[in-house]
Amino acid sequence: MASLSNKFDVEDLQMALSQADDTNSRVRQRIEIKNLGHNITPHLAKDGRNFNHWSRSLKNLIEDIFDETSYFYQITKDTNLSRNRSIRTFIIKSIHKDLLPYIDELDQARVIYKALQTRFQHTSWSHAMTTFNNLLSLHKENVSLNEAFTRLQDDLKTLKAAIGGTWTDDILLALFFHKFNKDTYHSIANALDAKREINPESQITSKEIMEIAQRFHFRKTETSQSHLMAFPSPREGPSHRPQQPNQHWQGQGSTPKVIQQRSQVLTPRTGAKQSRYPHPSTRPAEWAHKWLSPANPCLHCYEWGHWAQDFPIRLAGKPPTEDPRIKNPSYRLKKSKFVSHPAIAEMESEARQEESVAAITTLPGDDNRKIQREGHGDFNIIYPGW
């Protein structure tokens, strides 16, 4: 701010401008102009993140010296050469040195300001979120009432400019929801910054943040599951040894079989198939209820109940489907036709008995089971004898 700290310099410059015909006065004028430009705080950063603060200080200085409150709102050429040269110097002396080549060939102060405004006024989303977080955490700092009021006022102006200049319910929801996603906070910010880098005037919406957050959440979940499956859990006794590839799990009595197609890779030299990790069916039921559940669907088909690497469509190399919850957040994920753990198959069997979806009868003299279908399509499990 120039109105108080630079008052003496401002008065000297005004006097020098009024005596511009004198050689000594012109020299003094140039010195004062450079000093005032250097004293503008803050200087415009290289990435323009503080453009609004810098712009406000620059305008205050111009108002103090030239009594111009709307200088940059005018689109005509400034015919006052002395004023144009002075304001141009203010700008040059108060911006980062790496920005100088960007404006070096521009003569008009208004044109220079407009170029910087076009480049930096739509700041990054990360800067908007940083300002928003500062607003929410100011109460934790030990500051005076006057300082708190001033900082809140400045940060609100900065945040308003960063989000496009208009407060809406959706933009407030976007800010709060982004802050809510602590685990993927920086990933979301980087994605939105990249979008604004391509199109600086693009608007950020809460729905867009929701979609990005979902993608990062599901990607992180899949990575965590892969890491879990990479290590067998410590167990003792022969009954807990992992089964061989493509071997069906066989329970007691009439318990259904579970489809168990293990993800396999070829060794570079021999070409022999090797198992990448133990199959989920060798893990306890508690593990299956947690990871083979609607909360952790397959990211290839967005159905739950099977391990992603077991899914026949994925094994066939077909492309994944789109998450139906992106277009319809209330969409209820379906259970897969294929299950990777006996506990999931038993859940299906119990649910059918309770809902009377199908009845199972035993044929005399035959161990096969007969399914009486009632128009509900294919069942999710395979029974002995099929």
pLDDT digits (tens, 9 = 90+) for 284-302: 777 777 777 777 777 778 7
Please provide the average confidence, as pLDDT, over all residues in the chain: 70
pLDDT score of 30: 74
Q: What are the angstrom distances between the C-alpha of 321 and each of 177, 184, 271, 299, 326? A: 26, 23, 31, 8, 12
Scanning 163-241, the segments in alpha helix (DSSP H) are: 169-180, 185-198, 206-229
- Answer yes or no: are the C-beta atoms of 306 and 298 closer than 8 Å: yes
pLDDT score of 101: 87
CA dist., res. 383 & res. 217, Å (int): 35
In this prediction, residue 91 has a pLDDT band, given cuts at 50, 70 and 90, of very high
pTM of the model: 0.36
- Answer yes or no: are the C-beta atoms of 306 and 338 closer than 8 Å: yes
pLDDT of 98 over the 80 cut: yes
CA dist., res. 200 & res. 97, Å (int): 23
44-58, 63-77, 173-187, 223-237: which range is least confident on average? 223-237
Q: Where are the extended beta strands (E) located within 35-120?
A: none
Neighbour tally for 126: CB within 10 Å: 19
pLDDT mean over 189-195: 85
Residue that has been written with the tokens 């897969």 in this structure: 336
- Answer yes or no: are the C-beta atoms of 72 and 59 closer than 8 Å: yes
pLDDT score of 108: 93
Sequence ranges of the domains in the chain:
7-120, 125-224, 245-372
Kindly report the CA angle at 64 between 59 and 69, in degrees rounded to 5? 50
User: What percent of the chain has a predicted confidence (pLDDT) above 90?
Assistant: 12
